[in-house]
Amino acid sequence: MYLGRIVAIGMTPEGKAVAMYRVSSRSFPNREATQKGGVVSIMPREGFEDDLKKSPYIAYNCVRPAGEYGVVSNGSQTDPIAEKIAMGLPPRDALTLTLLAMDYEKDDYNTPRIAAVIKQDSSEAYLGIVRKDAVIVRSFDLKPGDAYYISTYEKDTPQDENYDAGFDVANALEACTYITKKGVFADFELPVTSAAILANGKTFEIATETV
């Protein structure tokens, strides 16, 4: 099954919250996640820079810390969500306001914008989406071994059914691998690259991986 881009939230067996992002792509597979200064960006791989002329939506920051929160998303909404949270806005409000203001992507597929937020030392986490027909933001109470996800296609509603009951990772890099190759995610087609942010006490551990 092809789901397009995926964001996910989970909790490790040790009780650490993690948020993950996966690029799956039919149109622009030549991309990678790169980390600089605690922020992860999705960019064309070397030699494919001309892809930026074909779509304005294929390069963006996808992971960014915001104080005690971590934000992931599939587009340029990452930064304003993180900035609103850093200014003191509750995650639900930051997600809702940003997704509503930016709306779905105006490409050939009306691609939804999706996003997730986790918090240090907390089971509180959020998934949100703006589609052509809806804006939905939902909170989740994570437990060790839980993972919930939302995608741009097919699984495009934050709900209990989009669930992995065997989420077992020890660090951010393992979370990158998990969302591309393991659990329920192993059945989803055309993985390209992934990134993850893991709440590790008072700091965040961030990793990337290209398939």
The reported pLDDT for the residue numbered 201 is 87
Q: What is the pLDDT of residues 103-152, one digit of tens each?
A: 999 999 999 999 999 999 999 999 999 999 999 999 999 999 999 999 99
Give domain limits for the chain. Answer: 6-210
6-210 folds as: Glutamine Phosphoribosylpyrophosphate, subunit 1, domain 1 (3.60.20)
Q: What is the pLDDT of residues 8-40, one digit of tens each?
A: 999 999 999 999 999 999 999 999 999 999 999
Confidence of residue 195 (pLDDT cuts 50, 70, 90): very high
In the chain, beta strands by DSSP E: 6-11, 17-24, 31-36, 39-44, 60-66, 69-73, 113-119, 124-130, 135-141, 147-151, 163-164, 191-200, 203-210
Q: How far apart are CA 104 and CA 138, in angstroms?
A: 18
